[in-house]
Structure 1
Amino acid sequence: AFVVAAAAEIFVSSTPIDWEASWSVGARRLLPLTPILAVAGARGTDRILARLRVRPSRWVATAVVLLTLVANIPTATTLRGDRAYRQEELYLRGLGLGVLFRPLDRYVGDLAVLPAELAFAARYRLPVGRYREVLFERYQRDYRTLIFANDVLSMEDPDVRRITRGFAEGNDGAARLRSDEAHPSRATVVFRAGWPFATHVTVTASAPDARAPVALRVGRGAALGDVMYEPREGLRVGADVRAYTFEVPPGAFDSGIFELVLETSSSSSTEVLIHAVRIEDRTPRTPFPIAPLQPLRR
């Protein structure tokens, strides 16, 4: 059997096939593994069949598992990977039974990662169902070209608003912070940062009803307290929409789940509109050299 598998592998490897679909890698890279996996899995399959003969009830469990796998094939091959999906969209979609997971999405959470979701909800005080949405990577950077992607948290984006806490609905898609001297206002944006370095943060904000500039502090949330980026006086937000940029202290930013804290207070009742937050790394870095394409030789 191993001789046949080796011969089949050599034959497949030598054939000039390397087609690619939008969701797959080259077929030539996968087909050589098929004979090896078939031979390696034959013994395990024989053992499984022997145990199923001893207890026929296990056929039912096997059928359920296989049915679930087959039903999820359309999901695995058609859904895009650039956003978080609900269980309703992921499971049993091929059979049209995804609606059965709707109550779990709404009231419980994702059963596959429920312990992590509960710890996440306790730490960041967001609904359990926001866990997968927070894991969607933002502030990305291509490791070859060093081009940034998703480096702006726009409050007009409904997906961004779902991973925030403490904001009220604002005008023109902005998020609103209400405060007074006795009751300062604090809001958070929880997201997953892909790039571990940041040197500057730009907050686009305005305080249209304020008679004087309002102090806005921006910091990183931590389990034992908040590390503030700006000095105690914070950013001075005026009535007009403006971008306020400040430097990030060394070591205050890292990749992974990041809790961005925005806090404001004023001597009179006022509100600050947060339009967007942009994270930047202005450190000069050299892109990875890409070798030029060589012409094919025949």
Structure 2
Amino acid sequence: MSGVRDPGAADGHYAFLYARSLAFDGDLDFRNDYALCGDPYAQGVDRGVGRVDNPAYAGPALVWTPLLLAARVFVPVAKDAPLAVRAGCRGPIARFALASALPLAALSIALAFSVARRWASVGASFVAAVLFATASSLPQYASVFVSNSHAFECFFAAAVLWASFWAGDGEALGRWWVVALALAALTLHRMPDAAYACIPLVVILSGSAPPARKLALAAVVASGALLGLGATLLLYRYLYGSPFVLPQGRHFVHLAHAHPWLLLFAPQGGLLFATPVAYLALFGIALGRREPRHRPFALAGALVVGACLFVASSPLDWHAKATFGARRLVVLVPLFVVFGALALDALAARVPSTLRAALPVTSVGAVLLFGVPVLFAVAGTTQGKTPLDAAPLRIASAGAAYRAVAAIGDVAVLPAKVVYATRFGMPMASFGLATTDLHYRRSYRDLSWEPNTLSFTHPSLVAASRGTAARSDGLLLVAPEAVVVWTAGWPFADRATLALHADGEGSLRVSLGSFFGRCDLGERRFAVGKSVVAFALPPGCFDSGLVELGFRADPSAAVTLERMTLDDSRALPPPF
């Protein structure tokens, strides 16, 4: 277990404490766990029920708890080891359980390959399996961040997928209870994963069983999703006093302000930037909907992918912060393998027969091109060579592997860059910086700002601007109309204060825009020297995601924008 890392300091630490508490204490009272193992982010708050928070997901404890129980018996620990090691917070006992991430990730790919074989050739299924095993974000969470939930969530998703078709092959009702249990375990990782119920339900509806039996089997599947949802809600009631809470607080998820486009394409946390081979899966879903034999499964897959994408893009940190790729979409890897295989078969069928002998070499080349840089970039995360937070700002100082991943990703998201450049009139090279959430964020746990000020000397604002010239103290307006594009994290603002200085008197008109519209904030006078002007933001004028700030002033006044501070002055209920 020497090659396995201890539980991480962030989400993984708290997720692991579910299993540690069950295996060592037989309860879910985390007060002693935090005392022994630490509470690095001060999550252990009593919300008035005599117990303390644990905002992580409990699902991986289904795997870790029995392994910790076994490790307590079979894994030797020195008698003079620190108490945290003997108590399973870290060290050999903890690593024994966490080592399960890699074999379960491999099993996930194997199960997905088995399902892909039902729809595609052996060769296409194998290539798709290898591509997503190496060129997705799964290796990151199977080998480095092993205390995060994603590799385990992926395994149970693969189990639901495989068990659904296995159950459909036979007559035994017990097989469908296996599907239900796998679905319950998956839903215990994240409640939106209940969308995976679409897969077994489509298998049932597409079968030849009588309507009454189909209804009974559908009820079995639904009971699995309800079991996972019910267990999660009971856990929330136990920890927080009510089942109708979010462990991260009521301000964490904003379904009306989801950003699926950014989650697909943004270099920080975007699926297609870090995993370009996911295009194959999207192509495969589109192909499947055209084939009568594949259509029901393709529609179910589209529903699952769409639901997971939408929900994953709705938290304040849709990019999941400090991440490699779209970690909340790792759960889709099993489906990507299957639909990727469909796409590969379709592509192979279009290759002239005289060139088909080169397909094996082409497949190896694809794995080398897409997979090898990702694997080395994953290794680079342990050596500081792969940036995980605000990565577009750090590409130049990153290791060669991540620079290769970024170069391939830049090509992969070219369609989005063209849309961005066309809509905002910005150079495509600024896309990564403009879509990185840096300037207007709010803590979902205590509503503190982190931060709420745009400094116009920041490299991302300098890069994603036009009609300006960079100066040491801000952006000089050199054209009658100037624009700055950036990404906001918090979706609400009702006032803005702009600090500037000018060589002459004049007026400045400011506008605020998004992808689909623009609103005028009005015109303000400024004097020679430093000025501060304030604007009220009309309701509905501001949103999170890409924001376009427009400025109109006479260039002869030599206006230099220094900083803009945004605020949301509404009285909000506390997060908990």
TM-score, with normalisation over the residues of structure 1? 0.70
| Cα offsets for 1:254-293 (capped at 9, x unmatched) | 1110101111138xx422121111111111223323xxxx
- Cα deviation for residue 149 of structure 1 reads 1.7
- Cα deviation for residue 162 of structure 1 reads 1.0
User: Is 1:259 aligned with 2:548?
Assistant: yes
Question: CA separation of 1:30/1:101 partners in 2, compared to 1, >3 Å: closer, same or farther?
Answer: closer
User: Is 1:147 aligned with 2:448?
Assistant: yes
- Cα deviation for residue 206 of structure 1 reads 2.1
| Cα offsets for 1:203-228 (capped at 9, x unmatched) | 101222x2xx4111111135676421
Question: CA separation of 1:28/1:205 partners in 2, compared to 1, >3 Å: closer, same or farther?
Answer: farther
- Cα deviation for residue 147 of structure 1 reads 1.0
User: Is 1:60 aligned with 2:364?
Assistant: yes
AA at the equivalent of 2:497: T
Distance 1:175 1:38 in 2: 51
Distance 1:241 1:203 in 2: 11
Aligned partner of 1:81 among 380, 388, 394: 388
- Name the counterpart of 1:247: 536
Distance 1:286 1:133 in 2: 33
Higher relative contact order (CA 8 A, sep 6+): 1
User: Is 1:272 aligned with 2:559?
Assistant: yes
> Residue 444 of structure 2: SS of its match in structure 1?
coil
- Name the counterpart of 1:215: 507
- Name the counterpart of 1:112: 412
Contiguous gaps of at least 5 residues in structure 1? 1-6, 21-25, 180-184, 290-298
- Cα deviation for residue 136 of structure 1 reads 0.6
Distance 1:18 1:136 in 2: 34
Indicate if the aligned counterparts of 2:467 and 2:478 stay in contact, CA closer than 8 A: no
Question: CA separation of 1:36/1:9 partners in 2, compared to 1, >3 Å: closer, same or farther?
Answer: farther
| Cα offsets for 1:161-203 (capped at 9, x unmatched) | 1111111244x42222246xxxxx1111101111111011111
> Residue 253 of structure 1: SS of its match in structure 2?
coil
User: Is 1:17 aligned with 2:88?
Assistant: yes
Distance 2:527 2:514 in 1: 29
Instruction: Give the number of equivalent residue pairs.
Output: 256
Answer with 74-83 or 139-148: which moved more: 74-83
The structure with the largest strand share of the pair is 1
The structure with the largest helix share of the pair is 2
AA at the equivalent of 1:198: A
Contiguous gaps of at least 5 residues in structure 2? 1-61, 72-86, 127-356
- Cα deviation for residue 129 of structure 1 reads 1.3
Indicate if the aligned counterparts of 1:202 and 1:277 stay in contact, CA closer than 8 A: yes
Indicate if the aligned counterparts of 1:133 and 1:163 stay in contact, CA closer than 8 A: yes
AA at the equivalent of 1:12: L
RMSD of equivalent CA atoms: 3.9
Distance 1:89 1:81 in 2: 14
| Cα offsets for 1:109-146 (capped at 9, x unmatched) | 81121110111111111111111111110311111110
Indicate if the aligned counterparts of 2:500 and 2:532 stay in contact, CA closer than 8 A: yes
AA at the equivalent of 2:429: G
Aligned partner of 1:198 among 480, 490, 493: 493
Question: CA separation of 1:261/1:9 partners in 2, compared to 1, >3 Å: closer, same or farther?
Answer: closer
Answer with 56-65 or 129-138: which moved more: 56-65
Question: CA separation of 1:75/1:166 partners in 2, compared to 1, >3 Å: closer, same or farther?
Answer: farther
AA at the equivalent of 1:72: A
Aligned partner of 2:520 among 228, 231, 240: 228
Q: How does 1:117-128 map to 2 (within 5 A)?
A: 117-128=417-428
